[in-house]
A and B are shown apart, each in its own frame.
Chain A
Amino acid sequence: DAGVTQSPTHLIKTRGQQVTLRCSPKSGHDTVSWYQQALGQGPQFIFQYYEEEERQRGNFPDRFSGHQFPNYSSELNVNALLLGDSALYLCASGTGQMNTEAFFGQGTRLTVV
């Protein structure tokens, strides 16, 4: 079992650009959540996808959007990148909507310059 896999592992973008991050959930999981973790801080919940729909959303602007595919994999898109978007982006998968017992990927380190 490959667990939760995220790609790419590292990424450098320029302010104003757009970025797409990808996540494949653990086998048997149907829920995917995305988190942003700034250096030295705890993860901040972005949104959760279940049954290909956004079910919960944290306090993030509309520049952050996502998608879940029929195979349960997911994408996180961020438009008009800001320097402050530099962070570790974590994907977590689980079962059901609450998703408190989640399995996390290694994350994608995004640097905006």
Chain B
Amino acid sequence: LAKTTQPISMDSYEGQEVNITCSHNNIATNDYITWYQQFPSQGPRFIIQGYKTKVTNEVASLFIPADRKSSTLSLPRVSLSDTAVYYCLVGVPYMDSNYQLIWGAGTKLIIKP
């Protein structure tokens, strides 16, 4: 099974833009890329989802190149409350037509004052 690769950790400062990149080989042709945020002792929270090019919502942007083998989550003007673990989620082919959802190891983002 293909795996996703993310930086283990990142540091930034309040007010900065933060970009987190995820590499994902063998992504399914019709599958989406999804990013989640998780605080300690809580379940993950959906941030954004995309298929190609660029998607933007009220909290983040997602950039996906044409080959879809990677994606970049962009968090504008981060604050201390954005300190969390960020997961990249893709579906990969598994046992013919069944799809298994694979989570990356996550990126621990620490925002400093």
Contacts and interface: CB of A to CB of B under 8 A. Distances in A.
Contact of A100 (B41, B45, B91, B104): B91
Interface string A85-110: 00010101000001111111111010
Chain A facing B: main interface SS:
loop
Interface in B94-111: 98-106
The majority secondary structure among interface residues of chain B is: strand
A77 interface: no
Nearest to A33: B101
Contact of B43 (A56, A99, A101, A104): A104
Contacts of A43: 44, 87, 103
B43 A42 contact: no
Contacts of B105: 41-42
Contacts of A42: 87, 103-106
Interface residues of B, number: 22
A70 B100 CA distance: 24
A104 B39 CA distance: 12
A101 B99 contact: no
B103 A102 contact: no
A44 B6 CA distance: 16
A98 B91 contact: yes
26 contacts: A33-B101, A41-B105, A42-B103, A42-B104, A43-B44, A43-B87, A43-B103, A44-B103, A45-B100, A45-B101, A45-B103, A88-B41, A92-B44, A98-B31, A98-B99, A100-B89, A100-B91, A101-B34, A102-B46, A104-B43, A104-B44, A105-B43, A106-B41, A106-B42, A107-B41, A109-B41
Interface of B: 31-32, 34, 41-46, 49, 87, 89, 91, 98-106
In the A-B complex, the 3 residue pairs with the closest CB atoms: A104-B43, A42-B103, A100-B34
